Amino acid sequence: MADLIAGVDGCPAGWISVIHPPGSPGNAKLKFFKHFQQLLDHIPALQVIAVDIPIGLPITGTTGGRNADRLARANLGERQSAVFAVPSRAAVACDDYQDACQAALVTSDPPRKVSKQTFNLFPKIREVDNLLSPELQDRVFECHPELAFWALNREKPVPFAKKVKSRPNPEGLEYRVRLLEDSGYEAEWLSKNPFPKSKVGQDDILDACVAAWSAGRIRSGKARCFPSEPEYDAKGLRMEIWG
């Protein structure tokens, strides 16, 4: 059975993935999943899955988030705001914004609410958290697109943002396409989006693609982990970001 790796990014309609054999980015395929469980059940099984979603939630939210968040952010220069501070598990459990803010206030040090932008990610964080176990972390790894692009860009922050005022930034997208093309992905394939933009954005595809690049590095032992020594949440999940 084929040996496959995947990079995965959350998108408005679900999860977009880039799947290919290790070391064969020219054979990459796009596959959409409505639910993360469908991705875990993919046949043939995906040997390494690198996903842009927090894995491992702290009991207490702190300034800057988890140690993994702070260490990843420190490498990104002007792109550091892309790594948000992961709040407490109690806050993430809330599906009402005011409830989430109240839960965050009483489970953070110093007390702070959550932004609406961060709150909007909670359903996908909960979806993955409900499925993940320490055993599944043998093949499901948290990554972050900006940290992955930093690694792909010879450990230098990408100089242009993907979005400006919530709109795609052509300069930033083109820079990332060139980096991915240099790593073996086909430029024509990278420029196509077979899905409605309301469901899957072009930036979602590029993020899934660089996550697949990270998945290959994880499998080959070349990826870096932040922090280098594991930290665990109350479920026994490692709180770490791979790049």
- pLDDT for 208-233, tens place per residue? 999 999 999 999 999 999 999 989 99
Please, are residues 39 and 47 in contact by the beta-carbon 8 Å criterion?
Answer: no
Q: What is the pLDDT of residue 166?
A: 84
pTM of the model: 0.96
Residue 64 clears pLDDT 60, i.e. is over it: yes
Q: Which residues of 161-178 are buried (b: 16+ CB within 10 A; e: fewer)?
A: bbeeeeeeeeebbebbbe
Q: What is the pLDDT of residue 210?
A: 98
pLDDT tens by residue, 89-126: 999 999 999 999 999 999 999 999 999 999 999 999 99
Please, are residues 39 and 60 in contact by the beta-carbon 8 Å criterion?
Answer: no
d(CA 243, CA 233): 20
Confidence of residue 1 (pLDDT cuts 50, 70, 90): very low
